[in-house]
Amino acid sequence: MNPFIFLDNGATSYPKPEEVYSFMDKFYRKAGVNPGRSGYDLCLEAGEIVEKTRKQLTLFFNGTVPDRLCFGYNSTDALNLALWGLLGEGDHAVSTTIEHNSVLRPLYHLARDRKVEVDLVPFDGRGFVDPEDIEKKFKPNTRLVVVNHASNVIGTVQPIRDIGRRCRNRGILFVIDASQSAGKVPIDLAADFLDVVCFTGHKSLLGPMGIGGLYVREGVDIRQTRAGGTGVRSAQKLHLEEYPYRLEYGTPNLSGIAGLHAGLEWIEAQGLSTIHHHEMALTKKLVAGLKEIPRVILYCQDDLTNHISVVCFNLEGMEAADVGTMLDVDHNIACRTGLHCAPLVHEQLGTDRIHGAVRFGIGPFNTEDHIRAAVAAVREIAATPKR
């Protein structure tokens, strides 16, 4: 059997740095108590890791007020908090066809339940959304724009600074889904004119699953859509208005926060650009190798600028799912096939009719050998006769 090769880092990063596993284990054994609820030493230690990670993430996104960094479970959770908390009856929202269902579905529900008007702007032939097309949709009742920073299907990184500037000029809120970009490309709340950044901890931030959150810029307030325990001011009837309590509910995912802390430390030690450079060098080799294979249809732009290490392709005449099964069963290579929770991307590519595409997601621990093996495997699969 060939050695196992993980090329499904678009779904979640695997493995994590050793430091993440060991710190989570060590920390949770030692101080796995409910943080911020009491004054004994372990409780303070648990609270400290929460506050430290809050600060780390605030700096990571170039935010200014750590309390505005609120922890949740993942970016789906954060996006729901942001969209349900910002959009109301009669509001208009602009988004794109490059979105994940974690944006599309809340918007569809808001359209149904709160009569929110939604416009979705398509991406161009290279996979980019034109900021001018977004601006053309602005109306007097446009409340916010929400954009997937980096596509989980075609890998393009959207021009968020340009979009953000146009939103800020018109007093429209700008929310990004940083699920795929955080930990791969820089995100700068100030320079990118961002109002809300929604992130997930288990992808390129290299933390475990079940931890994520959002940073909310000062001056922007998200209405609460949940309420519950905060550990402080328990006699108060309504949920606290101040951040981070405002958007945090119940006991946090302490071991997740500890793992995310260790993941961030690892990223900081390596350097974001070093990681990105490594991943993109491998992505270029992968794309170059796949291009040589006659039946391969690639869904990425040629020069891979403004791109993350996600590549989708199909083999002419074959179902993506069959290619994925052959990669798994015959070559021990993990990938992701199907619509990748982004149905409109596949609709626009025309791949919805053939049940999606095959996706390779490259992470910091992939090597040139992995890429060579993946290209060789696809070449072998492509050599099987068409049915």
The rounded distance, in Å, linking the Cα atoms of 287 and 103 is: 29
The rounded distance, in Å, linking the Cα atoms of 333 and 220 is: 45
Q: Which is nearer to ligand PLP, 310 or 315 (CB)?
A: 310
**Out of 13, 56, 58, 74, the residue judged to bind ligand PLP by CB under 6 A:** 74
Is the C-alpha dihedral spanning 271, 277, 280, 282 positive or negative?
negative
3-state secondary structure of 327: helix
**CB 225 to ligand PLP: min, Å:** 17
| Contact present, 120 and 145 (Cβ < 8 Å) | no
Residue 119's beta-bridge partner residues? Answer: 94
| Contact present, 133 and 123 (Cβ < 8 Å) | no
**Out of 9, 75, 156, 253, the residue judged to bind ligand PLP by CB under 6 A:** 75
For ligand PLP, the binding residues in 149-188 under the rule CB under 6 A are: 152, 177, 179-180
Q: Which is nearer to ligand PLP, 104 or 323 (CB)?
A: 104
95 binds ligand PLP (CB under 6 A): no
**Out of 13, 156, 158, 200, the residue judged to bind ligand PLP by CB under 6 A:** 200
In whole angstroms, what separates CA 358 from the centre of its chain?
19
**CB 100 to ligand PLP: min, Å:** 3
The rounded distance, in Å, linking the Cα atoms of 368 and 374 is: 10
For ligand PLP, the binding residues in 246-285 under the rule CB under 6 A are: none
Pair of tokens at residue 283: 């992505």
**Binding marks (x or -) toward ligand PLP, 202..241, rule CB under 6 A?**
----------x-----------------------------
100 binds ligand PLP (CB under 6 A): yes
8 binds ligand PLP (CB under 6 A): no
**Out of 9, 53, 76, 301, the residue judged to bind ligand PLP by CB under 6 A:** 76
Neighbours of 130 (CB within 10 A): 16
Q: Which stretch binds ligand PLP (CB under 6 A): 72-80, 138-146, 256-264, 267-275?
A: 72-80
The site that binds ligand PLP (CB under 6 A) totals a number of residues, namely 13
For the chain, state the CA radius of gyration.
21
**CB 10 to ligand PLP: min, Å:** 6
For ligand PLP, the binding residues in 340-359 under the rule CB under 6 A are: 341
Helix axes 254-270, 272-291, angle to 10 degrees: 80
Sheet of 296-298, strands arranged across: 296-298, 310-315, 357-361, 336-338
Q: Which is nearer to ligand PLP, 152 or 230 (CB)?
A: 152
Give the footprint of ligand PLP on this chain (CB under 6 A). Answer: 74-76, 100, 102, 148, 152, 177, 179-180, 200, 212, 341
